[in-house]
Each structure stands twice: as structure tokens, then as C-alpha cells.
Structure 1
């Protein structure tokens, strides 16, 4: 059965774009989507394999809505995936917007877009802040719908869907996923049609490698044993046939080790590979970047969260173009990014979990990785290969993974740590103003649909509301529950209520605070992820406590806050030390080497703490003005990675940490001294154009100040920075800036996130 694009109710411009890309008709699962009411406004759960055309289905539906005057919201779990989808949807005749950070902003200008791509946390914050254009959304697309069951971001995603549906009864919802174990339940919750299929444009063969051959169901494929490691032999075999390979491993160390081994075995020498390696080293001189460049020169690469944003992008682009033949990666690469390969090799099906040791990964995660096998239009087939250690292990891998169904997903919204933020958000946004309304809202959740028992929810919601009242977040007036100023601000800032209480309590109890004390406090909050402690860190922690212990604002363990454990307290010290080095102008390369972390880790920490410092500043503005200046200064220092002495210079447009330090070391420590020096002298340090620009800026601000225009004050540079702020990319250069990141990288529903990948 075939369905031509000519018969579909999509704009001619989009149809022409598809024709230009060689798309003339739909795949079978896509035809089923049309039959199930895709263009009739019906909710749909689309559970089909990777590369079977889920995104194209969603895109057609979005353009259909736009042609009828509608507006669409496309929700993704990761910032990287948001950028990828933004690029995919751009240039097709409609306006595309993207939103991933700044959680206390309404971003009303995004309402001019026809399609807004956003992370679930960003959408959640827009809902809390009552952004106007949200009410005009007619189609909500949820990419990676199975993440409702994720312990970290699942509750946020579920509440976004529930809130959007609660506010707009006519909203069409389309959920996309390749790995849902109980899609009928999700479809039932949303009163949706279910499109479920195993069809793929490229056949997928799943097997287990053992003793020189891949065992498939009913057949074998011999693989030459040229090297001692199974993954190396499998990669060599793939590349000899003209394919590419992805190797998934359990940790960063293993990813780097596998890439080095495979690169050595490949031994390629190509100018294109050298160019990629040189590009990586141009802006990143860390040890991890140097190791990556050496691997790339020989044809392989590794990919994990410790790499800088630019390095990851170069690796991904090199692989898409076919220049890089192999990527060894942690599972982060399987989480939605479009990087298919002829053969996917899954080296380990276990992962270390703090407190539990090595645990088997879910079948759902295996299917996410296996689904990357097979490049449509390039490969005759795709292979997903596990590695067995014995005959019995081969059978077990078939039984436990290849032949096993994906796990059922369950709601994560009924946990106390989650409900604290959820109920506060409902009350603060006037979504629910009494206990009955709160319970009524949650009765529309996936949790209520799946468990069919509201008695537990009733009890825990009552307890949580009482705890929020004890925290000073809400007041129960009997007939009505209202958010306090403190509670409303906490919700709008997208802070965990426990984080706000920690900040408020600690600041109220101290007359003086220091940057390190503030950093440690914020790193200990439920909103901040923390670096994992190694045995080698014990001496470092003891030294810091001895030297700076008096600056610490909170007690150890459960002495002050019931949710703060001993490990959290000490991990917060290590994390704060790293950030202290960052604002002490220690280079990214030096920080990475000193603490055995990657540039990407530093980027993540700066993103996370940047938002928390901003939140602390806003709390202090309302609640504790005595500490406002030091926190405001710390926010600017975190953003740029500078010492306090550079603050007067860093506020100037075009001056980053490198140029500010060069000016300061040359004797120009204030804007006035720069103005008096003149363009000629300053140009020798920062270049002609920059010198002209900053001196003009200084003069304009002075004129504005003399005329009584407060916006002419040099201190207003901080407001300007917030208004337009390029992203920090892991590089230390004159253009270094930060955005505040998205909550998927900085919070885990009140649980800490250990950087173990």
C-alpha cells in the first residue's frame, strides 16, 4: 500500500521540500498515522522504530496546524536535541523558535514563531510564569515520550502534558517513541489513537558475538579475529565493507580506551581526519581534547559529556559525513541524536549505580542503542551486536535483551520530592487554589490513570501541602490555599522549595558570607548536580575544611536539613572548589587536569551554578538585601570566570575574561582609565575595532549618567548581559559567555546527579 504526498493536506511549499529531498510517498507506519487521524486533530501515540519517520509525521501535522492558523510546541529532553530539531525544521516556510534556558523569563517574543522547540523544563517554567502564547498552542508534540518514566525528568514531562491539556481541552497531543513497553496505557491516558509497528526502512539484525562469529537467530556470520578485542574486530569488519560503527560502553574511561584501541587498529591517514583533529585542538588544549585529536587522526573518536560542546559537535559532524569511521560513546549519544551506523556494538549491558554497584541496563535503553543501526539510503541492513563471554551468556543475552520486550513505563509524579515543586507550582500559578483542586489536577495525571487509586495521592498531597506551609511557601486559609511571596518567587525562579529554604535559612543566620560559602551552599542544594568523590579527594576535602571551614554556611549531614546527607555535603565541597578555581581565572585545561574531569563537566557545572546564583540573587533582592551585592558580583564572576578585580571591566561589551585580564595587567583597571588612555593605546591590547567600541560605550554611558538617564550607568551592563548572552562553549577566549542551561543537566527532581559518564 502506498500513499502519495499529493493526497495529503500539507502546504505546497513543504511538499516541494520533500520532493527535493527524494520523498514521494509515505512509509507504512506513516500511512497508519494518517489513517488514525493525524490530520483530524486526534491525539496519537506513535511507537515505531528509530528512522521509521516519526519526525516527518510530526512535521506534517505541525504544518497542517499552521496552515489553519495554529501554533505548535515541540518538546524534547535535551538541549542538543532541541538544536538538532531546530535545524531540521528551519527553512521550510514557517517561523521556528527555540527555548532551552532562563527559567524566570516569559519569552513572549517566541510567540511570533509558528513552531517552538523547547526542553520540557523550559516549557514547565513558561507554564509557571503564565506565558501568554502558551494558550495559543494547538498541537503539542512530545519527542521521546517514554521519558515520562525517567526518574530524573519524567515527572516534569508528565506535568507539562497534564497542565497543557488542563488549560486547553482542544489541544492535539502527539507522543513519539521507539521504546514504550506499555503504549496502550499511554494512549488510554491521552484518549489517543495508537500507532505501533516494528517496520523499519532498513532491516535490523540483532545478534551476539562470541568466539569469532556473530550468532543471529538461526544463522551465523564469521568475523576475522585480527585483534584480541571483540569490539575492535567487529569495527574492522564493518569498515572493510564500507560501513561505520558505533560502540557503546558504560563509562567515559571505557569510551576513551575503546577509541584508542580501535584507532590504533584502523591506522588511517587522511587529510580530512587531520583537519577535524586540528579544529578540536584550536580551541581546546585539555588532555581529553589532545587524546581525542590523536584518535581522530587515525579514524576513530570517543564521545561523552566530558568533551566541550565544540568537540562533540565536530565529532558528530565528522561521523555524519563519513570521515570518522567509528565512535566509542557512553549512552548519551543514543538519547535522540541522529547518528545512525551500519553496525552498533554494545560492549557492556551493565552500569555502575552509586549505592547499588553494577546493575543491568533496562531493555528500553538497549533498544535505544540498537535502534541506531542502519543508515537509511546508505546501508543494506543494520546490525546490533552484543558481546558474549560464554555459550550460556549468549543464550542469556538473547533471552534478557534481544527477545525481551521493553519495560513498562510508570509515572514519577507521586514522589514527595517531586510533589513539593509540583504543588507549589499549581498554587503559585493559580492552577489549583484548594486541596480539592490540587487532587482534581492530579486525577488527570498518568499516575492516576495507571494506578486507579487516588487514596495514596490524597494522603501525600495533603502532607506535602502542609510541609509547604511549614516552609513558608503557602498559606492555608481554609477555603483557599495561596502562595506566599516567598513561594511564588521560588516557583517562578524554577527552584526546588528545599533549595530556597536552604538559601534563606543560611543567609539569615550569617551577617557575612563569602563566595566560597555561597558556592558550597548552592552546590549542596537539591537543584545542583555534584561531582563524584574519588578516594584521592579525601586529602583535598580535609584541607579545604581546615582552611575554609568557617566560610561554610550549612552543617554536615542531617544536622540542619533532613534531605542533605553526608555524601552530599562533601561532594558539594569538591564541586565548590572547582567553581572557585573557575572564578579564580584558572584555565579550563588546568581545572580539567587538576580534578580529572573534562571541559564538558566544567561547562555543566558553570551552567548549573549560574542559574542557582541568579536564583539566590533574586531571593536576596526580596528577602535578604544585605547579601545582594556579593551575590550579584558572584553571578557576574561565574558568568565570565573572573576574579573580583575584573568586574568593572567585564561589564563592558566585547570584553571577556582574556581581554579583561590583559587590560588589567596593562594597568587599565577601570572604564575611566581606558577612556583616558584613548583608542590608540587600548587597540594595542584588544584590537582596533574593540578599542573603538568600548571607548564609545564608556563615553555614551557617561553622557547618559550626566543627563540623569539611569540606564547610562555602567552598572547596567549586568542587565544588558542578561538580555543577550551568547553561550559558554567550554573555550577560554574573549567571547566566553554563559547561558544558564536547562534543568535536565542541572537537576534530577531533588536527587543529585553524579557525573559518571
Structure 2
């Protein structure tokens, strides 16, 4: 099937938005020829990475939009949301609005959590939606986000049964079972635009004992072919050590013509902390040093802007290799001719465990760049020949694991979904709750299992009753003559995206405090699952963290990442920058701003908890503390940073130091004598001072 056979308006829009696409590939043809564009059935489209799933989704979306309908495109991660928003914005040239919520958009790109929220409290908007497209649908079996999209799909079908669902997925083993739950047609195809060659290499083949030497050989070959490579390892520390090792080995083999581009990337990386008012941290220096030779590491301990630079420069061909943790396999479109999987185990609470075959397939799927490569290579690295045979059988020839619902395993998901059902008046008693859960993927799997179907109802009843007991004990639900209802605290949780564990911990802290101790509150927040943690970098002494906490009246025995985060955030609101925090505590300080931003929001949530509990005395202090986290300042600078947009803490402190708290007597010309204060900012500061 060629593009010309499409409806005229649909063809015109596709050609305008995707001019490089002239024909459909075999996988896309198979989907379209199944009647996909004209059918009203739900669909699961399971084709390999880079085979054009997004185009198939957007074809159905445009058709719905042309018919006057509304569309939601749901994705698991913010990074994918931003990428798709940028891609779909071209549709606005054809009169459609593109945004993040169906209230104001014809096509809304939403993360799973936001979509879940409208299934709970925005039924009028949900009922206007004609088509729901779920990208990365295979994540329904993932522990944290899987239950969210599973229950959101269940609830959306109850609220808007006429809404069509199109799920874009990697191939899963039990696809027919999933299709049975979703009442969907399945189209599977194995076409890849770039053929994938999978191989297991071992160190003995290269007369070495070091896996990193094998990776150097792969990169040397890539250098000869003018191609690139992605290397996956298990930890942040390993991404750094591998990047440094490889960069050092190839530095004399990089052509001078390419070194100029690498140096420019290195300089961009160093500019990131400087623009934020901090000297480069040791991690920044290490990253810039390896980038000079075309190799960069990528993990959650970097500044977000540095990660964006690495991704953009890799796409532009200005980096040879990225070493990364497996999290890079989700959320970022970074195809490469070669993918290297050095570590096939990861650390869990049960010790080291093999990664699933599914994860191996996802990482391998990054190999091969459409429009650039005629073949992609995935290399799994073994130590010995015997180990290579085992890995070949387990991963290359093995089958992907069946996908199972994680709803019951994730206790917080159960709590939140029960609260959601009761808060939205969709359930008033255990029987109605059980009816809802029986319609989830978990319920479907239990009822259709040859081993568990006999016990499905009894097992579900047991889980629901245990959850209800916990929620009522903690004042989140209450029994009334009309049935189960949420308390004020329960409604607050239902309307937030915070976990029940976080809410309960903060409620207990609020109930037990005589007066607000901000340091103890910070420490408590760092022990909730909703605050991103700042990690220790290595095995250096943790005594500085212990001493900082002790000086704040907190005596902890075990120094873990939660303690490192608490100490770092205490320094942040005392105006320490990332460089100073890293040197003080040996942590990945580049993540401090993100942790501080989330802390500012969590403080607001704690303030709301205090309010519903009738604890009013600390409310003003909590407002101040939230602002201190957001701006990273001491209390005395709050009026200034709030009053002058984009002033920032560094310039605010310089003004305070030069002129004191009262800026009214000083002219704009005098204000400009402070470094970083230009005419426009001086005028804004002067207006603030005179107001």
C-alpha cells in the first residue's frame, strides 16, 4: 500500500508533517490493511522499535480529528511527552490544537499519571474523548507505572465505553491474553527498517580478561565505519569508569578533524553549572574530560541540561559513544549502529539477578539508525566461551517473559485505586470495589488462570479488606450510613500524585510535632518514596553527612542516600551551590535542584495535610520553607527573589550584600554596579523596591 491510497485530507496532513515518508513499510502496511483506519475496534499494534508505531498512532489520531473528535496520546515519561508534543505541534498548521489536557486541546499528550487523574475527576472531559492512544503499552507489566495505566484504562472504559483504544507496544509473549482483557484486535509484525544482528562476544575471543577491552575494540571499529555505539552497564559509577577507560584508550586514534567537535561538546557541558552559579563539580569535569575524546556517560546524577546536550550531540554525530544505565532504554530516542550490553545482572533486594529477556530486547532494539544504517549490531559481552554459550541460549534464543499485572504487588497502587474509586463515587462498599478490580488486567488474569481462577474472588476480597483496614486505621477512609467515603485527608491524597505512604508519614509527623522543626521535617521527607534522592558517589567517608545531621539535632546511625539528601537540602537552603555540596558530602550534587524543587512541592502538600488536620500554627513558616527550597535561599532573601522575576539567588545575595535589605534609597545606576545586574534587571529591582 502506498501513501496515495489514503483519504485526501489525511494524506495531505501526513505529507506536510512527515515529508520524508513516501511509502509505508511492511509492518505499517500489515496494520493498515487489517482495516485499522476504518475500524472502531480497539487495537494492539506490536511491532519492533523504530518500525513506525508513532506514525500508525498519529494516522488514527488525524482521522479522528478530521471527524471532529478528540484524542489523548498517553505516554509513560515526561521526556517522551515533551518529544511527542514537539513532533505533533506541526498539526496546528492544519487547525488542530495540541497540548497537555483535553480541556484545551484537540490532541492531548499526557503522561500516564495525568491521564489517570482525569479518569478520576474529569469525567466530562473524558467523555468527550473519541480515541485513546497508549504508547509504550508494554509497560503495563512494569511495577510502578503499570498499575496506573491498567486502572486508568479500566476506569476510562467504565466512564466512556465508546472510546476507542489503540495500544502501541513491543511484542509480548502473552499478547492474546492482554488482547482478551482489552477486547482488542492484535496486529504483530517482525519487520525492522534496519535488520538487527545479535551476537554474544567473550573476552577470550580478544585475548583479554577485561570486558572493557572488548568495548574498546567495538568502538574502534565504529570509528573506522564513522558510526556510533551505546554501551549499557548496571550502575552510575560503571558508566563513569567505562567512559573514562574507553576515552583514554581511543584518544590517539580520533582524527583531528573530529576533535574540534568533541571539544565544543566538552565546553558546553562545563557551561551548564557555570550558568547556574556553581563551579563545575568533579562529575562535570570527569564528563567533560571524556567528552573531549568523543565518549560521554549518561545517568540520573547529571544536570538535566547536560543530559540534553549529550543526547542532542549524539544525534548530531558529535559523540562516538554514550555509556549509560539501562534507564536510557526508555524515554529517549537515541538509535545507534551498535549497542553493547556489558552487564546483564542488576542488584536487587535478593542480591544480583539477571535482567529480563524483555529488557535485553529493549536495549538491543536501539541498534540500527533508520535512514543511516543498513544493519544494526547488538553485542552482549561474556567473560568466557562457556558463559557466552549460556547467554546466547538465554537471551538471543530465549523467549520474552509473560507480562503479568503488578497491581497487587504494588501496595500503594491498591491503596490509591481504592481511594480513587471511593472519592469519585464509583464505589461505596467492598463489593463494588471488588467489581472494579475484577475488571482490571489483574482481575482478568486471575479469573482466567487455570491455577488461580478458583481462588480469584476470595484472594481479591482478602487484598481489598486488608487495604480498607489500613486506610480506615490511618484516617483516609471512613464508614458512614451511606457507605464508604473519603475523609478530608483521603480526598487530598486522591487529588494529588503522592503515594499513600508519603501522606501517612507526613500526617504522623504533623500529628506528633509540638512545634515545627524544619530540619526534622526535611529528614522525614527524605524518607518518603516521593522525594528523588541525592546519591553518594562512592565509598568515601560519610562522616560529613552524619556531622551535618547531628548539628541539626538529628542522630542517625545508618548513612544512606536519604541521609545524604537531607544534608544536601539543608545546605541548599543555606545558599550552598552544587560544587560546594558535592565537595562537602561526596554526592551527585547535580541532582540537588531537582530534589529541592520536589521538596518545595512536598512542603506544600505537607501544609495541606496540616490544614485538614486543623494544625494552623506552622502554615506561614511552611510557605517560607517551600519558597526557600524553590529558590535555594535563606529566609532574608525571600521577598527579593519573589519580588523580582528571574533575579536568582546569586544576584539577590550580591544585592543584599552590597546595599542591605532596604533598596529604596538606591538608583538604577547604583544597582547596576552589582555584577550581573543590567539595565532591565536594575529597573525591575528598582520598581520592586519602590512598590
Matches of 1:667 and 1:454, distance apart in 2: 71
Q: Which one of 34, 37, 42 corresponds to residue 36 of structure 1?
A: 34
Asked whether 1:282 is paired with 2:293, we answer no
Matches of 2:60 and 2:600, distance apart in 1: 37
Contact persistence 1:239–1:245 (CA under 8 A): no
Which moves more between the two structures, 492-501 or 200-209?
Answer: 492-501
Contact persistence 1:582–1:642 (CA under 8 A): yes
Q: CA deviation at 1:233?
A: 0.4
Name the structure 1 match of 2:328: 333
Asked whether 1:262 is paired with 2:251, we answer no
Matches of 1:536 and 1:264, distance apart in 2: 25
Change (3 A) 1:666 1:517: same
Cα deviations across residues 542-588 of structure 1 (Å, max 9, x unaligned)? 435543336x8xxx9xxxxxxxxx97x96533321111111111111
Name the structure 2 match of 1:625: 616
Contact persistence 1:299–1:325 (CA under 8 A): yes
Contact persistence 2:126–2:160 (CA under 8 A): no
Which moves more between the two structures, 130-139 or 25-34?
Answer: 130-139
Aligned partner of residue 460 in structure 1, secondary structure? helix
- Structure with the larger RCO, 1 or 2 (CA within 8 Å, 6+ apart): 1
Matches of 1:266 and 1:10, distance apart in 2: 52
Name the structure 2 match of 1:706: none
Which moves more between the two structures, 458-467 or 375-384?
Answer: 458-467
Q: CA deviation at 1:314?
A: 0.8
Name the structure 1 match of 2:158: 166
Q: How does 1:508-547 map to 2 (within 5 A)?
A: 508-531=511-534, 536=540, 539-540=543-544, 542-544=546-548, 546-547=550-551
Change (3 A) 1:459 1:226: closer
User: Number of residues paired by the alignment?
Assistant: 663
Q: Which one of 567, 579, 602 corresponds to residue 577 of structure 1?
A: 567
Name the structure 2 match of 1:646: 637
Gaps of 5+ in 1: 100-106, 214-221, 557-565, 703-757
Cα deviations across residues 173-199 of structure 1 (Å, max 9, x unaligned)? 111222423222211111111111221
Matches of 1:545 and 1:308, distance apart in 2: 25
Q: How does 1:374-413 map to 2 (within 5 A)?
A: 374-413=368-407
Matches of 2:63 and 2:266, distance apart in 1: 44
**TM-score, normalised via structure 1 length:** 0.83
Contact persistence 1:202–1:379 (CA under 8 A): yes
Change (3 A) 1:8 1:184: farther
Q: Which one of 237, 243, 264 corresponds to residue 253 of structure 1?
A: 237
Name the structure 2 match of 1:439: 434
Matches of 2:610 and 2:514, distance apart in 1: 13
Q: How does 1:142-153 map to 2 (within 5 A)?
A: 142-153=134-145
Asked whether 1:184 is paired with 2:176, we answer yes
Contact persistence 2:204–2:385 (CA under 8 A): no
Aligned partner of residue 353 in structure 2, secondary structure? strand
Aligned partner of residue 672 in structure 2, secondary structure? helix
Change (3 A) 1:18 1:497: closer
Name the structure 2 match of 1:676: 665
Q: CA deviation at 1:143?
A: 1.5
Q: How does 1:317-396 map to 2 (within 5 A)?
A: 317-353=312-348, 355-396=349-390
Change (3 A) 1:128 1:229: same
Name the structure 2 match of 1:450: 445
Q: CA deviation at 1:651?
A: 0.8
Aligned partner of residue 111 in structure 1, secondary structure? coil
Matches of 1:656 and 1:242, distance apart in 2: 43
Name the structure 2 match of 1:505: 508
Contact persistence 2:194–2:374 (CA under 8 A): yes
Name the structure 2 match of 1:154: 146
Q: Which one of 289, 295, 300 corresponds to residue 290 of structure 2?
A: 295
Q: CA deviation at 1:677?
A: 1.8
Q: CA deviation at 1:203?
A: 0.6
Which moves more between the two structures, 522-531 or 384-393?
Answer: 522-531
Aligned partner of residue 316 in structure 1, secondary structure? helix
Matches of 2:153 and 2:8, distance apart in 1: 26
Q: Which one of 596, 599, 605 corresponds to residue 586 of structure 2?
A: 596
RMSD of aligned C-alpha atoms?
2.6
Q: CA deviation at 1:19?
A: 6.2
Matches of 1:115 and 1:223, distance apart in 2: 56
Asked whether 1:308 is paired with 2:297, we answer no
Asked whether 1:78 is paired with 2:66, we answer no
Matches of 1:345 and 1:571, distance apart in 2: 29
Asked whether 1:197 is paired with 2:186, we answer no
Asked whether 1:24 is paired with 2:33, we answer no
Change (3 A) 1:580 1:688: same
Q: CA deviation at 1:596?
A: 3.1
Name the structure 2 match of 1:51: 50
Name the structure 1 match of 2:89: 90
Contact persistence 2:99–2:105 (CA under 8 A): no
Runs of 4+ in 1 over 6 A off after TM superposition: 222-228
Asked whether 1:476 is paired with 2:479, we answer yes
Change (3 A) 1:580 1:429: same
Matches of 2:422 and 2:56, distance apart in 1: 37
Matches of 2:688 and 2:6, distance apart in 1: 58
Contact persistence 1:89–1:96 (CA under 8 A): no
Q: Which one of 262, 270, 274 corresponds to residue 273 of structure 1?
A: 262
Q: CA deviation at 1:460?
A: 1.4
Gaps of 5+ in 2: 274-279, 448-455
Q: CA deviation at 1:620?
A: 2.3
Change (3 A) 1:488 1:51: same
Change (3 A) 1:96 1:642: farther
